[in-house]
């Protein structure tokens, strides 16, 4: 049997040889990975654990919370607040930030998470996940506020996600490529199963919620129309479509075999830049995708360069195989030039 490398060993080696991981960051990643194991147990129990269905509450974005959204959020908070590695946490499921309680030492990092991504798939037994992003606390003061979190994604010290699917996988970057781990359920440990993951630059697969087609902006419509035209169209090749409706699962497929994922701005809620959240979903996924040789933009700009204006900010997302993301971004730039020349207003150019 080939030698198995555990998450702990991987992190120790990164710390020792690459200098990529300070001690507190290593602890943070191990604690998040352990919390994901706890969430995986609840997910696997399903109806037997009485974890399905709605919780009867709404989050700050007005979305109905599922029981598992709340359970996962609590697991991550409980696991992370006492270790001395964090100053504060922020979550898609909490209105405001959660500073580490005074009774615990304050650490150097800020942790953000989407505790349960793909909530609409919980009850139907389709892959769901947890997404996390790690920032450094930049100031010396101990009184952490939302402002401390408002850093562009390029400042992330680490990012990762866990997919609760047929296998439970943990995908991680600390800015030195992307590593994948698979949960060995019998042993209860994360085993390194792929290193230096690379997304092919070209693809024949796209992911978008096609039911929103009539609401899209012209550059997105043009891109998808060209994919649908297949061999006979301008792209000269047939495309395949996949849409899991769990970003973790769609991104995991793209990391595994390439593809492009779009959740663009659309006319349903024209004042919102998009559906997905910049700090809990787009930034960590953009970091992972770029570290795997892919690209991530909001149609105009690199996602990781966007300066967040508020914690729960939303953003339009195009990510995955580099050449496709560049094509979609190029179509937006052309559209911008054209409507500029005609003096028309732009649909949500900003994040
Ligand atoms: P969440 O469950 O954390 O709210 O996120 C769901 C997101 C994302 O995972 C997925 O890509 C998208 O919403 C699906 O949206 P549609 O239901 O519009 O397809
Ligand atoms: Mn989500
Ligand atoms: Mn969520």
pLDDT digits (tens, 9 = 90+) for 153-169: 999 999 999 999 999 99
Atom of ligand 1 nearest to the CA of 61: 4
CA of residue 121 to ligand 3 center, whole Å? 11
Q: Strands 260-263 and 240-241, how do they pair?
A: unpaired
Atom of ligand 1 nearest to the CA of 116: 3
CA of residue 246 to ligand 1 center, whole Å? 6
Q: What is the mean pLDDT of the chain?
A: 94
For residue 122, what pLDDT is reported? 95
How is 129-184 classified by DSSP, letter by letter? EEEEEEEE--SS-S---HHHH---GGG-SEEEEEEESSSEEEEEESSS-EEEEEEE
What is the mean pLDDT of the segment spanning 56-65? 85
Residues across the chain: 351
Q: Strands 260-263 and 205-207, how do they pair?
A: parallel
- Determine if ligand 1 sits within 6 Å of the CB of residue 120: yes
CA of residue 32 to ligand 2 center, whole Å? 17
By alpha-carbon position, which residue is closest to atom 12 of ligand 1?
Answer: 245
- Determine if ligand 1 sits within 6 Å of the CB of residue 130: no
Q: Which ligand is nearest to the CA of 248?
A: 1
Domain boundaries, the chain: 7-194, 205-341
CA of residue 319 to ligand 3 center, whole Å? 19
Question: In this predicted model, which residue has the larger pLDDT, 40 or 347?
Answer: 40
For residue 344, what pLDDT is reported? 56
For residue 202, what pLDDT is reported? 97
pLDDT digits (tens, 9 = 90+) for 208-231: 999 999 999 999 999 999 999 999
**Dihedral of CA 320/295/252/60: which sign?**
negative
Is the predicted pLDDT of residue 335 greater than 90, yes or no? no
CA of residue 116 to ligand 3 center, whole Å? 4
**Dihedral of CA 91/93/97/103: which sign?**
negative
CATH tag, 205-341: 3.40.190.80
- Determine if ligand 1 sits within 6 Å of the CB of residue 18: no
Best probe residue, ligand 1, of 59, 69, 120, 161 (max atoms within 8 Å of C-beta):
120
- Cβ contacts of 102 within 8 Å, gap of 6 or more: none
pTM for this structure?
0.95
CA–CA separation, 8 vs 248, rounded Å? 23
- 123's tokens: 């009850």
How is 300-328 classified by DSSP, letter by letter? SSBGGG---SSTT-EE-EEEESHHHHHHH
Q: Which ligand is nearest to the CA of 264?
A: 1
Do the two domains 7-194 and 205-341 of this chain adopt the same fold?
Answer: no
Question: What would you measure as the largest C-alpha separation in the chain, in angstroms?
Answer: 66
By alpha-carbon position, which residue is closest to atom 17 of ligand 1?
Answer: 245
Superfamily of 7-194 according to CATH: Fructose-1,6-Bisphosphatase, subunit A, domain 1 (3.30.540.10)
């Amino acid at each position: 049997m080939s030698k198995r490398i555990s998450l702990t060993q991987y992190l120790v080696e990164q710390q020792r040889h690459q200098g990529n991981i300070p001690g507190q960051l290593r602890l943070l990643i191990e604690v998040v990975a352990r919390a994901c194991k706890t969430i995986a147990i609840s997910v696997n129990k399903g109806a037997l654990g009485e974890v399905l269905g709605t919780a009867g509450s709404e989050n700050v974005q007005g979305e109905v919370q599922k029981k598992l959204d709340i359970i996962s959020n609590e697991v991550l908070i409980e696991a992370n607040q006492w270790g001395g590695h964090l100053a504060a946490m922020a979550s898609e499921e909490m209105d405001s930030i959660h500073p580490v309680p005074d009774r615990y030492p304050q650490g150097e990092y800020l942790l953000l998470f989407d505790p349960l991504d793909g909530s609409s798939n919980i009850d139907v037994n389709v892959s769901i996940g947890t997404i996390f992003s790690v920032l450094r606390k930049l100031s010396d003061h101990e009184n952490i506020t939302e402002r401390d979190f408002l850093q562009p994604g390029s400042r992330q010290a680490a990012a990762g996600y866990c997919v609760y699917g047929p296998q439970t996988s943990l995908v991680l970057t600390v800015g030195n490529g992307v590593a994948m781990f698979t949960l060995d359920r019998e042993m209860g440990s994360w085993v390194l199963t792929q290193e230096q993951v690379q997304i092919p630059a070209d693809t024949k697969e796209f992911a978008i919620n096609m039911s929103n087609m009539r609401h899209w902006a012209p550059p997105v419509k043009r891109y998808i129309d060209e994919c649908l035209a297949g061999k006979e169209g301008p792209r000269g090749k047939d495309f395949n479509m996949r849409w899991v409706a769990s970003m973790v699962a769609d991104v995991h497929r793209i990391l595994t075999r390439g593809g492009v994922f779009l959740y663009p701005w659309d006319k349903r809620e024209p004042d919102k830049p998009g559906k997905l959240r910049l700090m809990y979903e787009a930034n960590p996924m953009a970091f992972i995708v770029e570290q795997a040789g892919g690209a991530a933009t909001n149609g105009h700009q690199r996602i990781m360069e966007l300066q967040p204006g508020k914690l729960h900010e939303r953003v339009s997302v195009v990510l995955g195989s580099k050449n496709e993301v560049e094509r979609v971004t190029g179509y937006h730039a052309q559209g911008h030039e054209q409507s500029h020349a005609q003096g028309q207003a732009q649909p949500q150019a900003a994040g």
